[in-house]
Homo-oligomer: A and B are copies of this chain.
């Protein structure tokens, strides 16, 4: 089972609205441009089931409880905020991720062209941008200023890590007369957004907070896919190709690549499949051991004997237990600073092969910053656009405390609290992991016993 459904059942999966939507959506007029047709608006009653398999369906039936489902995202016929008069703000927080600028551009276009809202503020450098003492400029984003930004990686707004005072942020939102705030960020940022909605509620304000989940690791719960993650593993393939080529360039050559993935190995697993050239994949979800006849090093030696070269891919969060002595540090987002598993691998292998008297040449590649700052692939660009479309629809009809998710092939409204309630991880019995094993052919003997119970 992918998720802890018992936990899920404790949440209210309905989405909070500011109140009754009284305005006619301008979309029908803008898009249809004719009285003869009506757009296919979405209603709040359309919901997406959490399962897709017949067997699970039968199980739920037996339990006799309603199968949980999520509200479908999309344009509503009636909206809460006045089209043409709604003021928005957008902020990007945390580390860079491919697609940020595409999301920003699409938010501006959607507001400007489809809902006739001419004012979208760009908040600079994350939550810092709301705080007066940092003295960051408030940008005015128009179609002209964002026209070409999707060709450039990163975020034109800049970003920063860590929380800021909700009081001060809401003060600034009020001062700017913002009706809808679009927050693009990861779980820490979304927790901050959730607190914002509470402060807004306490003050009895009608400001919507719409989250657009940003996680290059693709590890947010009940969100099958996050923007930028396809670009990330796509770009990682270049580094794996390089490692493969380097490994074949020298007798017993070894190429090691480290990619993002603090807690979840999705980037690494997908890059493994995309290249079909990785021989060993190490991910944070599966602990492994180096030594002994069933250990990683013995398996590597076997591989070299057979093929004279090897490619190893490791997600940054893997093997952190080997640094147990090391002092833990936190970054400003509150994430633990990871130790460099790539370097450790390189050293362990070097020493092992030296002892075994096997000449080698080990090349270690860490492409992380190059990956983060890449512009999105076309497929990711579509996803960024659609997230922004759904976000603006959600904002205009007065939803709040919600993130735009993508689940079982549909865009959904997911309560922020559900999104941050657990972390999505790569499971040992998943098809993705099975595909990886079939592709790498790596023995699972060096994966520790926990594998079956993850």
Give A contacts to B, CB under 8 Å: 27, 30-34, 36-37, 39-40, 45-49, 52-55, 57, 67, 69, 72, 74-75, 96, 102, 105-106, 109-110, 113-114, 125, 128, 134, 136, 148-155, 158-160, 224, 230, 233-234, 237-239, 241-243, 245-246, 248-251, 253, 255, 270-271, 273-276, 294, 363-367, 369-370, 372-374, 377-379, 381-382, 385-386, 389, 408-411, 428-429, 431, 434-435, 437-439, 441, 443-445, 449, 451-452
Contacts and interface: CB of A to CB of B under 8 A. Distances in A.
A386 to B, nearest CB: 6
Given A34-B445, A249-B159, A67 B54 contact: yes
Contacts of A69: 54
11 contacts: A31-B437, A33-B445, A39-B437, A46-B55, A49-B53, A54-B67, A125-B251, A273-B381, A274-B382, A408-B408, A408-B409
Contact of A441 (B30, B57, B441, B443): B30
How many protomers of this protein does the assembly include? 4
A124 to B, nearest CB: 9
Contacts of A271: 378
Given A49-B57, A273-B385, A443-B34, A239 B148 contact: no
B377 A234 contact: yes
User: Which 9 pairs show the lowest CB-CB distances between chains A and B?
Assistant: A33-B443, A154-B245, A274-B378, A234-B378, A245-B373, A242-B373, A40-B429, A47-B54, A273-B382
Given A31-B444, A234-B379, A251-B160, A438 B37 contact: no
Contacts of A451: 37
A221 B27 CA distance: 31
Contact of A53 (B48, B110, B445): B48
A419 to B, nearest CB: 19
